[in-house]
A and B are shown apart, each in its own frame.
Chain A
């Protein structure tokens, strides 16, 4: 192939990939811009910029209440799913074959089972016990959805542990329990924290389960946004969305830094 033709192909390839990446990023960028609009209705590009919609959000108890509830729910989900998930991630690889397959299948299945099934299944059962409209119901349900992310993250960091470190501790006279606390736990801590971050995002962003379980007593932030979107698309949602994207970006950045730390620990 001649050089000019090669360069042309390369340019074409970059343009194609660049425009697909633009397609991925552009809608979110538009929401960012709209959130700083000064207009009272949705128009693009905005006539002028301002913080009007952020003021509207932070000054309204109808938005802040659900926000705090979502933070509370997500934090509870993190505690529950990280504790249960970490213990299980340590135990499951050492279970006998068939039990291991069934156990990991059960725990990872929320990743592929359509979420509407989880939502209405839990709604169906919880409504008999008067749990609809309580934060506890949402925490219990979100934990099921968050646990697979904790499991995969902790399992990955456990698989990366150099088993000679544990053997060395045992041969130097450490008991299995103190080896676990003093060698294994520090090595998997970044993996556990990454799992916790993804559990937080999973719960904080979750809509479908909340639609069924929040009733009128436990309105989460995504449920509040959903209700708003049914009637109007006022730019307050753009402000809320922007804050959510910024929070997600911060959490992802922390996860990235933690993962780098895991890699450093592995090469130690």
Chain B
């Protein structure tokens, strides 16, 4: 039913024909009325500001693609983009290697499951700043790791661990590990245990069961975890700024620097590249079978 739009307010009285039309249209309008305040809020305070900022890359000083044409030959951009991609790749790989065994343990644990879950969720919800600070304490010149290596006689004098790319990779692996574990554990929980029993009954070894039954069925969770960690690592800013090498900055840090120097057009074009990379990866991954569902996992 269409909503009558031409009625005069004075005629909208209880019992009139127009009132009846409104009353019948209202249930159809209610969902929109409920969603409208938040949608308006997100458009005004989020979508429009971000789009206006991104537009600076196209209309500053006049409409052109100049700010993008220069990027492929821009060594600062290329180096930063490469560092961002390679760091994200290393972090994704290490969270996968460390996360899979924990996800497997979590999906099988009974009495110890709450403890494992607390050990995953508490770091997840702890401020990124606190976790980065923790790594500054551990990796510093007089930090725990240097002191331990000295005490064990493995080092003669403290070595530089903090403010290196390795420090960024270690700290970000720690910070993003929960995002890898949770979707994989989610996928593993959905594997029908009778399949593993059937395989065992048919003479499969434990390794054979894992490789041929469990691993293939957990792949949507793995894909979701890889995607989530990679996309979050791409946008990392706080951790590399605090523990990383100040000469090897990430794209987010370069964007922040350019904003500080009021180079809005350049910052906007870098932002567009960052956003396009993240959204492009998600668009590709959503087409993989099963990933769409696994991606809608609970972040808590």
* A interface residues, Cβ below 8 angstroms from B: 1, 9, 13, 16-17, 20-21, 23-25, 27-28, 30-31, 34, 42-44, 84-85, 87-88, 90-95, 99, 103, 106-107, 110-118, 120-126, 140-141, 143-144, 147, 149, 152-153, 156, 176, 194, 198, 201, 204-205, 207-208, 211-212, 222, 225-226, 229, 233, 237-238, 241, 244-245, 248-249, 251-252, 255
Contacts and interface: CB of A to CB of B under 8 A. Distances in A.
Contacts of A149: 299
A198 to B, nearest CB: 7
A31 B129 contact: no
Contact of B275 (A34, A42, A95, A113): A113
B129 A222 contact: yes
B174 A84 contact: no
Nearest to B117: A256
Given A114-B235, A120-B267, A120-B271, A125 B47 contact: no
Q: Please classify the interface of chain A as helix (H, G, I), strand (E, B), loop, or mixed, using the class held by over half of its residues.
A: helix
A125 B52 contact: yes
Q: Which of A9, A17, A147, A249 is most buried by chain B, counting CB atoms within 10 A of its CB?
A: A17
B96 interface: no
A114 B275 contact: yes
Contacts of B282: 112
A25 B274 contact: no
A216 to B, nearest CB: 15
B298 A156 contact: yes
Given A120-B259, A233-B133, A245-B130, A114 B234 contact: yes
Contacts of A85: 38
Given A110-B46, A114-B234, A122-B49, A30 B134 contact: yes
B42 interface: yes
Contacts of A198: 300
Contacts of A115: 235, 237
A118 B38 contact: no
Q: Which of B43, B137, B299 is most buried by chain A, counting CB atoms within 10 A of its CB?
A: B137
A103 B39 contact: yes
A106 B39 contact: yes
B98 A88 contact: no
Contacts of B136: 229, 233
A255 B130 CA distance: 21
- A-B residue pairs, 7 tightest by C-beta: A114-B235, A91-B34, A121-B50, A27-B134, A91-B35, A94-B31, A125-B49
B252 A116 contact: yes
B147 interface: yes
B128 A152 contact: no
6 contacts: A28-B122, A110-B46, A143-B45, A207-B129, A225-B133, A241-B130
Contact of B35 (A1, A92, A113): A92
Contact of A28 (B32, B41, B120, B131): B131
A250 to B, nearest CB: 11
B30 interface: yes
Nearest to B97: A20
Nearest to A212: B259
Interface stretch (B11-19, B68-76, B138-146, B190-198): B138-146
B27 interface: yes
A23 B207 CA distance: 26
A184 to B, nearest CB: 12
